[in-house]
Amino acid sequence: LALLPGIGGAAEADDSVRSLSAWTNQRGSTLYIDNVSASGQLTGTYINRAAGFGCQNTPYPVTGWVLGNAITFTVLWRNAVQSCNSITAWTGFYYQGRITTLWQLVSNGTTSPGQIQQGQDVFTRSGKAEA
């Protein structure tokens, strides 16, 4: 299966965005990419370890899209362990071994744009995805 550069399959030797890759950001959180389909749909899990936030240290489902070197992914912060009543969406790009993103975090009950938290996360490869 020939895939576009940047999407790739698990057998590729480079470190681009692809299935079964793990990416850790500067806050210590990890994005595990389980699959990127031929159409670019991304699935995986996210473990938040960022200081100052809730819902740490347990896996949350991730869904997203990959288009060439462009990527978006989203986490609903709800699992069997803890719910934070919030959603984060990251938008970014893969370039020179990094996924550089801007994110926004919205909580259920938000009523004004100023209540949307935002920031930047930069992810680097941290090994193969865990089950």
List of residues contacting ligand BTN (CB under 6 A): 25, 27, 29, 48, 50, 53-55, 77, 84, 86, 88, 103, 105, 121
Long-range contacts of 70-77 (CB under 8 A, 24+ apart): 70/94, 71/17, 71/42, 71/99, 71/101, 73/31, 73/42, 73/44, 73/46, 75/46, 75/48, 77/48
Smallest gap from Cβ 33 to ligand BTN, in A, equals 15
In the structure, how many helices (H) and strands (E) does the chain have? 0, 8
Smallest gap from Cβ 1 to ligand BTN, in A, equals 31
- CB-based closest residue to ligand BTN: 29
Give the separation between CA 29 and CA 62, rounded to whole angstroms.
Answer: 13
Smallest gap from Cβ 103 to ligand BTN, in A, equals 5
Smallest gap from Cβ 59 to ligand BTN, in A, equals 13
SS (H, E, C) 26-44: CCCCEEEEEEECCCCEEEE
Q: Which is nearer to ligand BTN, 7 or 105 (CB)?
A: 105
Q: Which is nearer to ligand BTN, 12 or 83 (CB)?
A: 83
Q: Which is nearer to ligand BTN, 7 or 55 (CB)?
A: 55
Q: Which is nearer to ligand BTN, 56 or 69 (CB)?
A: 56
CB–CB of 119/106 below 8 Å?
A: no
